[in-house]
Structure 1
């Protein structure tokens, strides 16, 4: 049986796997007919067995008893990888948790291919961790250990924006100087690259890749800033307490606005502190909502509300955000202008990184002929407007936002492992 290879895009928000079999690159359905799966896990308390993706999200929002986790990619390279976490009373390390999720993708691909797959190109951001080469190298090493643990024998890595470029290159005619903007849930990465359909078979593309940059800013950060601006004030954020009118502690609100930190909030100590402050609060109604969220462990629902508002505001100017899990009939109106003001600083970091990529490549904005937008965060109207402003003369390609990285990684696996004959899907 001819060996086949695959590409895995393990994303902060969504993941996918594509295979190279008999000269055909295809995305594998990983959840029913879906070729992408939310990077989410839910462990049922009754037996501590995991479910994944949309099933995990539905289990959590249906208020089933258990432990819900998202944004696991952001743990790579951090101290949490060695600390581990408690899942329904059982200590579990994040290597085991992430391996469990990625093993399901591998199993789906092997079932689809009808054979074992031992060769993989794993996607990675330009920087797992900003301004820390040691943590960045550690994150890749941790992901390689996980890939080995689930049965891969030949493992390579590719920057995610380069993979997205490869996926688009398959449909190009002629040659283009392109910049790829890959804006995911946890990172924003950029590559300036020369693309040509004549180059797609080349095993070494280093001469075509002019520059890479990246910053640890993504859709989860948009959710956080939207939440802190529009939702958390309704839970007492920046309210005061006591005779000296001191500001309430801000850390619980900031942690409630991050997927990777919310699980660590539901401690007896913090709940007791919040109860004590509530007695001295100058805004007992709003601050009481924070206590409600902590006692009922509905932080993920709060994060889900912020994410839902962000997505709704891509298409409409105002959205009534339901927070009825805190109070019956509780709605928070949020305007797109509020959202755009909240994320201005993060969008500035993204455009600064894109500009730095151009400078490193030695090209000007007007030299760019094609802008490839990939990742869900590129749908945000302010982001779209900024890239059209930066590159007014370039064509914009933004199809397959959530799956182009997985496809491109499979193309890269073909070149690196040498299987098959190129065939357009």
Structure 2
């Protein structure tokens, strides 16, 4: 039995949407529940292609992938065998299982979170793009397997959500690069027909089902990696009578999302506990660059700098000064490759602040008993620059539309932040509607897959 599906290959979480009895539904993934965190764990990055080849070969689908990888596949298969001989896992892990394996020994593994953030990155070498393609294909393979385990057959036709822009700079080239990577990955795992739909449009399709009259709707989709703003005409039956692109009055998007709020909160509220803001013996405040690089887990260049030998040597020299002893904590973060772990702590603090004024972040993985107090005020201060950029995206969409919204429809993981909701409420007199922050896009993708493939 072949099936069709909508897939939200999200920056923070992945979800699958299917149609059941004429209605779009979130599929419960047997190993993950409604959503799978967008994480992957491997013993080494070079084993990923070999693992994927092994899965494809078991179903007789390895030929095209083998041809595409050429000699590099032999090296990957050798690395996979060596990893097993050395006592490492020769399997990949996804979602929460990936995080659990990573936390067992962060310094001795390959762990990636939010790989979608890198797909449109400028300056990626062919090899880097190939690694991202393999990661994407591995995640798709796993998710397609989850659909089968849930009893919905093999998926050969798929709609994947995409942001309006994967990156802010040179967006046309960035978007082409990112979608090409996803297309190639999908072909590797057996997808015969792949279509993309803009994530805010997909969220709007779900909301549109509730309307009884035409409305000008501003869809504000603040996801894990991107923010997309769309001004759309919606109404009852529009999905059947109008192509979505013909109802768009204006849209804008940029790579600003929940991950960036995590980075900002990490830098503002957690990094002072690791030495940020201290002064050396001559009264000079420490440079902020190492702390920013440590927090910026969604920036490959920043992470490369932070883990460099040069950074380590500079930090070791500085922490010998009596006033800079707390820098040993930053060195511990670096030596044990804990930046993703700290980012997850910042994310949990952000989530806690959506329902309380203050929380405490447990940093005992760095030093026994270490914690940081995190407040709503710190989150507001940390997110000012990001909110200004989101305001600019709204201005752009409004200018294109030449009108104001009747309804503001909020969706995306960061849409639950009271600070963000309040900022939008202060700006618009329109009705404010809170969608399913995580499921609106996914169910909308299922609706669109049903529309174009059936």
Partner SS, residue 206 of structure 1: helix
Q: What does residue 15 of structure 1 align with?
A: 14
Superposed displacement of residue 199, structure 1: 1.4
Q: Where does the alignment leave 5 or more consecutive residues of structure 1 unmatched? A: 86-91, 420-425
Q: Where does the alignment leave 5 or more consecutive residues of structure 2 unmatched? A: 45-87
* The one of 126, 131, 144 aligned to 1:82: 126
Superposed displacement of residue 47, structure 1: 2.6
Superposed displacement of residue 31, structure 1: 4.7
Q: What does residue 56 of structure 1 align with?
A: 98
* The one of 347, 370, 390 aligned to 2:387: 347
Q: What does residue 196 of structure 1 align with?
A: 235
Q: Where in structure 2 are the equivalents of 1:9-408 lying within 5 Å?
A: 9-20=8-19, 23-32=22-31, 34-44=33-43, 46-63=88-105, 66-78=109-121, 79-80=123-124, 82-84=126-128, 93-132=131-170, 133-202=172-241, 204-241=243-280, 247-260=285-298, 261=300, 264=304, 265-279=306-320, 281=321, 283-364=323-404, 368-394=405-431, 396-408=432-444
Partner SS, residue 200 of structure 1: helix
Q: Equivalents in 1 of 2:334, 2:244: separation in Å?
A: 51
Q: What does residue 411 of structure 1 align with?
A: 447
Superposed displacement of residue 377, structure 1: 0.7
Q: Equivalents in 2 of 1:342, 1:99: separation in Å?
A: 35
Superposed displacement of residue 80, structure 1: 4.0
TM-score w.r.t. the length of structure 1 is 0.88
Against the structure 1 CA distance between its residues 249 and 341, is the aligned structure 2 distance closer, same or farther, given a 3 Å change threshold?
closer
Aligned structure 1 segments of 4 or more residues deviating by more than 6 angstroms: none
1:382-423 CA-to-partner distances (Å, cap 9, x unmatched) read 1010111222231x2223210111111111112222x1xxxx
Q: Equivalents in 2 of 1:171, 1:111: separation in Å?
A: 32
The answer on whether the counterparts of 2:225 and 2:260 sit within 8 Å (CA) in structure 1 is yes
Against the structure 1 CA distance between its residues 114 and 385, is the aligned structure 2 distance closer, same or farther, given a 3 Å change threshold?
closer
Equivalenced residues, count: 405
TM-score w.r.t. the length of structure 2 is 0.83
